[in-house]
Amino acid sequence: MILIHSFTSILMLQADSSAAAPPPASGSAIVEMLQNSGPIALTVLGILALSSLFSWGVILAKLSSFGRARTQSQRFLRAFRKAGRLQEISAVSEQFKPSPLVSVFDEVYETYRRQTGGSGPPRNIVSLERSAQTAASEALTVMERRMTWLATIGAVSPFVGLFGTIMGIVDAFHGLGTAGTATLRAVAPGISEALITTAAGLVVAVPAVIAYNQFTARVREFGARMDDFARELLNSMEDSTLRPAQDPAEREAARGLQR
């Protein structure tokens, strides 16, 4: 009875001491795992860290450029619809340069000037349509710049993390074989490497994929807006609205050419 009572007392003291000991902080645990990681895991984490920094740089830059493009497009449309002449819009178009609509207008107006000298109805509306399509395509190409990197990072990062996972499991089995016994101390370093590289790959991939999908939708939206604006601009030229007024001498010269 005395031995049983003594053993029970020892167990209770050990339980109390383990309960009183504070749990390790999560931040210190992550730092400890990084310190215990091997060169392969550190290389994988370094690649993922650089990929994350680059993807976030692209994301922030695209958010800023798309925001400016949307704001300036709205302002340019208001100015376009209030203007009475094409020359008035051409004179102020540089103020709205971040807008892709400006590129469409400048290209169409330049083609119009080559056809008519800046006055009169357009002679070849098909040529103006092609100019609008070319300008819209070039503007979309500029807006899509570096977006493929987001798609690449979003697709590749999980596999890079998976590579670190596989190597961590290999290290865990190697530690198990070296120790000769199935103990937690033998497999813990390799398992921790596997888990942290897997988590890092997901942390890098998820924002890149979300940003790529959102930016792709915005690019399609800008493409639709440029098509609508091109039709509105060409309709205005055909309907003699927003067309530069001709003085009497120009009208007589135009009539003489028609004769």
Q: Which residue has the tokens 């897997």?
A: 198
123 in a structural domain: yes
Q: What is the dihedral of CA 56, 33, 178, 183, to 10 degrees?
A: -120
Give the span between the Cα atoms of 129 and 222, in whole angstroms: 17
Domain membership flag for residue 102 = yes
Task: For Cα atoms 38, 39, 45, give the angle at the middle one, nearest 5 degrees.
Answer: 95
Is 174 inside any structural domain?
Answer: yes
User: Is 11 contained in some domain?
Assistant: no
Range scoring the smallest mean pLDDT among 26-35, 74-83, 135-144, 246-255: 246-255
pLDDT single digits (tens) 113-144: 887 776 667 778 888 889 899 999 999 999 99
Query: Do 157 and 204 form a contact (C-beta atoms < 8 A)?
Result: yes
CA distance readout (Å), 237 to 82, 153, 161, 254? 15, 45, 57, 17
**Domain containing residue 50:** 37-241
Q: Is residue 25 part of a domain?
A: no
**pLDDT score of 14:** 38
* Residue 4 included in any domain: no
Please name which of 192, 177, 247, 252 lies closest in space to residue 34, comparing C-alpha atoms.
192
Residue 10 lies in a domain: no
pLDDT of 232 > 80? The answer is: yes
**H-helix segments, 83-146:** 86-92, 100-116, 125-143
Q: In the numeric block, which tokens belong to residue 227? A: 């098509």
Higher pLDDT, 209 or 12: 209
Domain annotation covers residue 14: no
Q: How far apart are CA 196 and CA 218, in angstroms?
A: 34
Give the three-class secondary structure for 178.
helix
Task: Give SS3 for 58.
Answer: helix
Name the domain count of the chain: 1
Q: How many CB atoms are located within 10 Å of the residue 243 CB?
A: 19
Bigger pLDDT: 216 vs 235 = 216
Residues found in the chain: 259
| Tens digits of residue pLDDT in 14-64 | 334 333 344 444 556 566 666 556 777 788 889 999 999 999 999 999 999
Cβ 44 vs Cβ 75: under 8 Å? no
Torsion angle of C-alpha atoms 39, 37, 202, 61, degrees rounded to 10? -60
CA–CA distance from 234 to each of 91, 134, 142 (Å)? 19, 15, 24
**Which letter does DSSP use for residue 177 in this model?**
H
More confident residue, 55 or 82: 55
